[in-house]
Amino acid sequence: MASCLRDMKEDTPNVFALKEGMRLLVEARLPKIKNVMSLQTMMYMLGENAPLNLKRKLEGKALSLIDQFRLPNAQHMISTMATMGFYSKPLLDVCSRKIKEDLYGIPFNRLFTVLLSYKELRYRDFDLLTSLSDYIASSLDLWTTKQLVLFLSVFENLAFYPAALMEAFAEKHQRQQFLDSLSQVLDAYLPKMSEFELLKTVYYLCQLGHFPSAQLEKLLQGSTLEQFKMTAPKFVQNQERMFQMRASQPNPWFSQSMRSVLGDQVDTVLQERVVVEDFYFIDGVITKPLPNQSAVTEASRHAGEASSPAESSQRFAVICAQHTAFCFGTSKPRGTLAVMARHLKILGY
C-alpha cells in the first residue's frame, strides 16, 4: 500500500485518509520494521508533510539499520531525505561514505540524482565531492559532453570547484575551439534572446577574452540600444543605491586592519574605496614599488630618465568578500568575484 500511495497526491479525500492512516500505522509499528527497503518506502510515502517528531523517529530507526545499508540503499536514502525535506547529518554522512567507497559502480543518473539531492538538502561533503571530481576526470572518455556539463552545473550550484575535472575538461575541449563552438551555438539563439540576455552573454564572453562578432554586431544595433533605453529594471536602482551608500561611508575596521598589516613599510600607499573603470568598487588599492626598484629609480634619476608609475610600481586590489563568494572548502573565487578578479588582473592589478 505504501508503494502505491507514495506517488499519489493528497488532493482527494480518499488518498489523504489512507496516507493519514499509514502515518499512524508506521508510527505504531516502527519498532518492528527490520528491512531497510521497507523503511525507505514508508519514508518516501510519508513525504515532507510528516510531523517532525515522526521524522526524528524514522531517522533513529534508519541509523539503527546502518549495518544493512548497501550502495543502492545509501543512494536511495539520500533522495528519500530530499523528498521528505529532512536534513539528517549523521545519516547523510554514513550514506556519503558508502557512496565514496564504490564510486566506480554508480551510473550517471544515480550520481546526478545524489548531487541534486545534496543541493536540495544544502549538504556538502568535501571529500566525496573531491573524489567524484577525480573519478570523473580519470574516466573522462566514458562521459558524454552533456553529462560533463551537467556535472559541472550541479557542482557550481553546490559552490564546489572540481579542480581535477575542470583541468581535464579544459584539456579535452581546447579553449579557443570551445569558445568558437559556443559562439556558433549562441548564434542560433540570437533571435530568441532578450536584450538583457544578449548583454550578459557578450559581457561574459568578453571577460574570457573572446569577442563574438555576430553577438556584438546585434548588441550594437540601434534598435537593440533603443530597447535598453526603454528598459528600467528595478534591481538596477537598488544596486546603485547600495553602491553609493557603501562608497560614501568609510569602513573603520578595514582601515585599521590594513594599516596594521602594512605597518611602516616605506613607499607603500593605501587608497580606500576605489572605483575602477567606472564599474568595479574595490575596498582598497595598495601601491608598492617593485623589488629592487629603488636602486633602479635612483640610477634613472641621475641619468635623467623618467619611469612611469606603472613601470615602477605594482598595485594590489583588496576586496572584502563574503564566504559565499568562494568555492566550498577552498579560497577559489566564484561567480561575480571570479569575473571581477580576472578583469582586474587584465587591468594590471
Model-wide pTM > 0.85: no
Residue 309 above 80 pLDDT?
no
Q: How would residue 239 be classed by pLDDT, with cut points 50, 70 and 90? A: very low
Lowest mean pLDDT among 105-114, 193-202, 300-309, 322-331: 300-309
More confident residue, 46 or 303: 46
pLDDT of amino acid 266: 72
Q: State the average pLDDT over residues 74-78.
A: 92
Residue 235: per-residue pLDDT: 47
Determine which of 82-91, 157-166, 217-226, 340-349 has the lowest per-residue pLDDT on average: 217-226
- Give tens-digit pLDDT for 28-71: 888 888 888 888 888 887 878 788 888 898 899 999 998 888 99
Amino acid 145: pLDDT: 84
pLDDT at position 242 is 37
Q: What does the pLDDT average to over 217-223?
A: 82
Q: Above pLDDT 90, what percent of the chain?
A: 18
Asked if 320 and 283 count as a contact pair (C-beta separation under 8 A), the reply is yes
Neighbouring-strand partners of residue 281? 275
Per residue, the 3-state secondary structure of the chain, as one string, reads CHHHHCCCCCCCHHHHHHHHHHHHHHHHHHHHCCCHHHHHHHHHHHHHHCCHHHHHHHHHHHHHCHHHCCHHHHHHHHHHHHHHCCCCHHHHHHHHHHHHHCHHHCCHHHHHHHHHHHHHHCCCCHHHHHHHHHHHHHCHHHCCHHHHHHHHHHHHHCCCCCHHHHHHHHHHCCHHHHHHHHHHHHHHHHHHCCHHHHHHHHHHHHHCCCCCHHHHHHHCCHHHHHHHHHCCCHHHHHHHHHHHHHHHCCCHHHHHHHHHHHCCCCCCEEEEEEEECCCEEEEEEEEEECCCHHHHHHHHHHHCCCCCHHHHEEEEEECCCCHHHECCCCCCECHHHHHHHHHHHHCCC
Average pLDDT of the chain is 80
Angle at the Cα of 196 from the Cα atoms of 193 and 199, rounded to 5 degrees: 90
